[in-house]
Structure 1
Amino acid sequence: MQEKLVPFSIKNWNQDDRPREKLLGKGKEALSDAELVAILIASGSKNESAVDLSKRMLASVANNLNALGKLSIKQLMAFKGIGEAKAIAIVAAMELGRRRRGEEALEKHKITSSTSVFELMQPLIGELQHEEFWIIYLNNSNKVIQKNQLSKGGITGTLVDVRLVLKNALEVGATGLILVHNHPSGTLKPSDADKQITKKLKTASESLDIKVLDHLIITESTYFSFADEAIL
């Protein structure tokens, strides 16, 4: 009769292989994604270590941390061994990582290319399941003064309050604007509404010597730039 194998608890592992001890002794870079998640959840179940449970969770999303970060508390709790407290810990850690990416992008301050706009805005809207339209206000050195959400849930010409956009531009002393919105569908092709909004804001801004420098359509992993494609 074949002996049934039961996974060892992390407590029975070699000290160098335990996630917490490994982080302390070798640094955070030495840990795999599963080991880092295992530290968050602290423990597994009777027949599964925290690392094995983390590996199983990651395997369900093709080992993609961005996909793991999109799982809801309810979806995480569907994994045996993950209760509400562990699910909340994972969601909180993923949200902190997303916010950190946004702050790191903002620290660059100066917009030098469409890529720098993407790095600034992707953490905010790239992974959303609904559309949002944002305005980035720049000074004459192309440094970010402010970024504001203009609309949420969809994009039509009626949602663009040109007066509000320009009023805020004058109040903060902006000389340049960059329009940004996301496409949850993943398509990068600008719609007729996208083009109309761009033309409407560009025409209105020119009368106040404020330039619309670009309009970016952002998805989870890439973007489309009106300026780069010479259709601004």
Structure 2
Amino acid sequence: MSIKFLAEDDRPREKFLSKGKSSLSDSELLAIIMASGNKEETAVELARRILASVNNNWHQLSLLSVKDLTKFKGVGEVKAISITTALEIGRRRASQEVPEKAVISKSYDAYQILKNHLSDLRTEEFWAVFLNQSNRVIHIAQLTQGGINQSIVDLRVLFKTALEHFSTGIIIAHNHPSGNLKPSIEDIDITQKIKEAGNTLNIQLLDHLIVTQNSYFSFSDEGLL
């Protein structure tokens, strides 16, 4: 029986989307990997039987070979390989350390991150670095790409991105292809607008960098925030 014939609440994929991955049982997770069962069993029922054979232990399941898995009716080589591949990915993930996120404590730290994106461009681009409460970088994004003279940022896009990543701090940056580090009136104006909007959302604008090929200007360092 295919999963599509089950009641909607019993369909693992639909349940994943509507209630989240943590709502799924082990057998439902395994059923998603297999995608289908056999003539007598749904994918969930087949998954439940496979897990029962190893005392519902993922570690024990990972010890089964492709040949072992294909002994279950409805599990061919493709399904068996999918199961062992998923378990191998889990094993490798568990063996890896979570990469340390960069911490920004001064304007130069932000410049080091952004200069490779901005220093050699012929047109202006607007980028943002999104940080958590510990000033660790959680996301970096290009927000706009402009013409020869300017790149206008949409505040809605900026703060939508910040909210999506649960950011509490933002560093914005754009380049001056001319090499002039002096902020324009428009640069000062957009900085103030972003700062005010951030205050409303409790997302702090920490700095605004203007980047040229060899140097940078920091609004924070110059007391302009």
Cα RMSD between the aligned structures? Answer: 1.9
Alignment correspondent of 1:116:
109
1:222 is aligned to 2:215: yes
- Deviation, 1:160, is 2.2
Three-state SS of the structure 2 residue aligned to 1:207 is: helix
What TM-score do the two structures reach when normalised by structure 2?
Answer: 0.53
For the residues of structure 1 that align with 2:209 and 2:102, how far apart are their CA atoms? Answer: 18
Three-state SS of the structure 2 residue aligned to 1:112 is: coil
1:231 is aligned to 2:198: no
- Deviation, 1:167, is 1.4
- Deviation, 1:108, is 6.5
Alignment correspondent of 1:177:
170
Q: After superposition, give the CA deviation of every residue in 1:171-216 in whole Å (9 maximum; x if it has no partner).
A: 1010000010011110000001101110111111111111000000
1:134 is aligned to 2:127: yes
Three-state SS of the structure 2 residue aligned to 1:205 is: helix
Contact 2:124 2:150 in 1 (8 A): no
Contact 1:131 1:182 in 2 (8 A): yes
For the residues of structure 2 that align with 1:108 and 1:146, how far apart are their CA atoms? Answer: 10
What TM-score do the two structures reach when normalised by structure 1?
Answer: 0.51
For the residues of structure 2 that align with 1:139 and 1:107, how far apart are their CA atoms? Answer: 13
Contact 1:142 1:176 in 2 (8 A): yes
For the residues of structure 2 that align with 1:143 and 1:118, how far apart are their CA atoms? Answer: 15
Alignment correspondent of 2:156:
163
Alignment correspondent of 2:136:
143
For the residues of structure 2 that align with 1:180 and 1:134, how far apart are their CA atoms? Answer: 5
Three-state SS of the structure 1 residue aligned to 2:139 is: strand
Alignment correspondent of 1:4:
none
For the residues of structure 2 that align with 1:156 and 1:131, how far apart are their CA atoms? Answer: 6
For the residues of structure 2 that align with 1:107 and 1:193, how far apart are their CA atoms? Answer: 36
Three-state SS of the structure 2 residue aligned to 1:164 is: helix
Alignment correspondent of 2:192:
199
Larger CA Rg, structure 1 vs 2: 2
- Structure 2 vs 1, CA of residues 147 and 188 (structure 1 numbering), >3 Å: closer, same or farther? same
Alignment correspondent of 2:84:
none
Q: Which amino acid counterpart does residue 110 of structure 2 have in structure 1?
A: V
Alignment correspondent of 1:100:
none
Q: After superposition, give the CA deviation of every residue in 1:4-34 in whole Å (9 maximum; x if it has no partner).
A: xxxxxxxxxxxxxxxxxxxxxxxxxxxxxxx
For the residues of structure 1 that align with 2:128 and 2:164, how far apart are their CA atoms? Answer: 14
Percent of aligned pairs with the same residue?
48
Count of residue pairs brought into register by the alignment: 126
Residues 21-60 of structure 1: pairs in structure 2 closer than 5 A: none
Residues 85-96 of structure 1: pairs in structure 2 closer than 5 A: none
- Structure 2 vs 1, CA of residues 194 and 172 (structure 1 numbering), >3 Å: closer, same or farther? same
- Deviation, 1:156, is 5.8
Three-state SS of the structure 1 residue aligned to 2:201 is: coil
Q: Which amino acid counterpart does residue 149 of structure 1 have in structure 2?
A: Q
